[in-house]
Amino acid sequence: MRTVASFVSGALALLALLAAVPLLWLSTHIVDEDGYVEFSSTLAKDTELQQAFSAYLTDELSARGVIPAALKTPAAAALSQTVERTSNEAGFIEAWEETQRSSHRQAFADPMPKTLGLDVSPMAAFVAKQAGRDLPVAIAVPKHLVVPVVTDASDREMVDRVEQSTTLGRIAGIVAVVAAVVCVALAQRTSTAVAWLGGGTLAVAGLLWVTSGPVSQNILDHTEAPSEFARTLQKLLVDRAASSLDAWLVVLAILGGIVTVAGLVGRAVTGRRTV
């Protein structure tokens, strides 16, 4: 009976771990405001995002009449060069982080807005000021230059569900730890239970690694993109998320390997003593 209870507890621990890892990643990297800003700040240096942003900024300012039609081509070149040149400067990165912090607060506001967007005014103002030095006219950026990112109702509901990951992740983590302790405590051979849990942890890391790619692609396939800039941002965020989660999984796999080896060594030692 104890062996069966130990096995069930171990299986429950691994299932809870399978849920806890992605949920806790969402909690620390998406739901937490500071964690999200830190996670997304690296995008400011991404060439693909810079190109998409400069193209959006040129088209939007031209459509609003801020940039005269005759200056659209030289303005596009100046803005593109400025974004590339200043992307590593503190002013540009701070403006991007301000934009991300604002968008995060909007996304998790109660009630949630019908349209989630990025207010890129801080970045646009910084870039326009720098680019104005190479143009015969100054570029006046509107105070609120918002790029719609999520407009579909089902996508907004998904954001709302993500907010629950903090509570669910903590519950899953506690269940995983308690169940693992019970598994070891009830096992006839502690070393065998430890080795089994370690091997199971390796399996969990492998399963999450295999499924993270298809899940990421599925998110992109079923998320509306109101503009090319929004699509680029969504793609880069999902790609970064997958890479960040993979880094967690590497650590989890290493820990699982260490626990497995410890259990096998313990089994070998206790086996010799028995003989």
* pLDDT tens-digit series, residues 12-63: 999 999 999 999 999 999 999 999 999 988 888 888 888 888 888 878 777 7
What is the tens place of the pLDDT at every residue in 167-203? 999 999 999 999 999 999 988 888 888 999 999 999 9
Distance CA 259, CA 184 (A): 12
Q: What is the mean pLDDT of residues 216-237?
A: 81
Look at residue 275 in the predicted model and tell me its pLDDT.
44
Residue 200 structure tokens: 């199971």
Contacts of 218 (CB under 8 A, 6+ apart): none
What single letter denotes the amino acid at residue 134? Answer: D
What is the structure's pLDDT at 51? Answer: 83
Cβ–Cβ < 8 Å for 92, 123: yes
Residue 117 clears pLDDT 60, i.e. is over it = yes
CB-based contacts of 190, cutoff 8 Å, min separation 6: 184, 266
Looking at the DSSP bridge assignments, the partners of residue 119 are 146
Can you tell me which residue has the tokens 């809870």?
16
pTM of the model: 0.84
Task: Examine the pLDDT at 241 and tell me if it is beyond 60.
Answer: yes
Q: How far is residue 12's CA from residue 17's CA, in Å, rounded to a whole number? A: 8
DSSP, res 222: T
Element (H, E) at 155: helix 153-162
How far apart CA 20 and CA 100 sit, in angstroms, is 26
For the chain, what percent of residues have pLDDT higher than 90? 31
Question: pLDDT tens-digit profile of 208-218?
Answer: 999 988 888 88
Query: pLDDT confidence of 247, banded at 50, 70, 90?
Result: very high
Separation of alpha carbons 58 and 75, rounded Å: 7
More confident site: 104 or 224: 104
Q: Which residue has the higher pLDDT, 218 or 86?
A: 218
* Domain-wise residue ranges, the chain: 2-29+166-262, 45-159
Amino acid at 215: V
The span from the CA of 105 to the CA of 275, in Å, is 64
Range 85-116 burial, b when 16+ CB lie within 10 A, else e: ebbeeeebbebbbbbbebbbebbbeeebeeeb
